[in-house]
Amino acid sequence: MTPLRLIDQHGTMIGVVELEEAKRMAAEAGLDLVEIAADSRPPVVRIMDFGKYKYEQAKKEKSSKTKSKAGEMKEVRLGRSMKIDPHDVAIRVAQARDFLIEGYRVVFVQNFRGRELAFSSKGTQRMSEIAQELSDVGKVEMTPRLAGKRMSMIMVPDRAKIDAIKHKQGSKPAAKSEAKPAAKPEAKPGAKAEATAESRPHVAANEPSSAPA
């Protein structure tokens, strides 16, 4: 892998140098010599802090994924009518919470059937209650709107609040597990007497005593 086209730590193109010269310059700068274009002729290398470079790349990828999720919308349906069990609503709210924490926008959809449309204010109330319950991780982007027999509300992640929750959870010390003594096996009736009898030393009838005469 020689000669090489070298770029220094400041981004300046040094030009074509021998491998040993490139290594010497990297060592003098206290940095790494990293190949960034192996297919070029000659190959291109750069003097850099490789650990810092990898960290910045990972940070960019994470930021890119977060932005990608922010553009995606997850739909949470609150049943086919207003007659949905409160327990089912709670399950959907918990699901929406997970979506918001992961960085997704969430649209809540409430459908009305038959005469329920005459009491659409109940749908608005339900949406307001959900927004209040999720206010620790999200905020309302679009207030409840009725279109035909369908009411919608959009919430987006509140990054500051979510980061604060994650930081708080990460700073909690892990609970120490206390060692519990092993449970003693339950003694069966008569077992103690048998064990006592078995534990006695056996003395033969004709065995001479070891005591001095």
**Mean per-residue pLDDT, 87-108:** 94
Q: What percent of the chain has pLDDT over 90?
A: 51
Q: Is residue 204 situated within a structural domain?
A: no
Residue type, 159: R
103 and 23 share one domain: no
- For residue 99, pLDDT over 80 is answered with yes
Asked whether residue 202 is assigned to any structural domain, the reply reads no
DSSP codes of every residue in 35-85: EEETTSSSPEEEEE-HHHHHHHHHHHHHHHHHHHHHT-EEEEE--SSS---
Q: Give a yes or no: residue 144 inside a domain.
A: yes
pLDDT of 204 over the 50 cut: no
Same domain? For 155 and 77 the reply is yes
- Answering whether pTM is above 0.95, one says no
**Do residues 109 and 43 share a domain?**
no
Distance CA 158, CA 156 (A): 7
- Residue 10 belongs to a domain with what CATH number? 3.10.20.80
How far from 59 is each of 54, 64, 100, 157, CA to CA, in Å?
9, 9, 20, 20
Q: Are residues 114 and 34 in the same domain?
A: no
If you count DSSP H runs as helices and E runs as strands, how many of each does the chain have, helices first?
Answer: 6, 8
Contact between 97 and 158 under an 8 Å Cβ cutoff? The reply is no
31 belongs to a structural domain = yes
Q: Mind listing the pLDDT tens digit for each residue in 12-30? A: 999 999 999 999 999 999 9
Which tens digit of pLDDT belongs to each residue from 31-62?
999 998 888 889 999 999 988 888 888 888 87
Instruction: List helix spans (H) across the chain.
Output: 19-29, 50-70, 86-102, 120-133, 159-171, 191-199
User: ∠ at Cα 97 (131, 117), nearest 5°?
Assistant: 45
| Pair (112, 155) in one structural domain | yes
Do residue 43 and residue 91 come from a single domain?
Answer: no
Q: How many CB atoms lie within 10 A of CB 207?
A: 8
State the amino acid at position 155 in one-letter form: M
The domain spanning residue 158 has which CATH number? 3.30.110.10
**pLDDT at residue number 31:** 93
Q: How many domains does the chain have?
A: 2
**Structural domain harbouring 78:** 69-164
What is the rounded average pLDDT for all residues in the chain? 82
Q: What is the DSSP letter of 81?
A: S
The secondary structure of residue 148, as a DSSP letter, is T
Percent of the chain predicted with pLDDT > 70: 76
Give yes or no for a contact between 84 and 101, defined as CB atoms under 8 angstroms apart.
Answer: no
d(CA 159, CA 78): 25
For residues 113-127, average pLDDT: 92
63 is a domain residue: no
Asked whether residue 37 is domain-assigned, the answer is yes
Same domain, 116 and 152: yes
Asked if residue 140 belongs to a domain, the reply is yes
**CB neighbourhood size of 156 (10 A):** 17
| Residue with more model confidence, 209 or 125 | 125
Q: Is 210 inside any structural domain?
A: no
**Claim to verify: residue 153 and residue 85 sit in the same structural domain:** yes
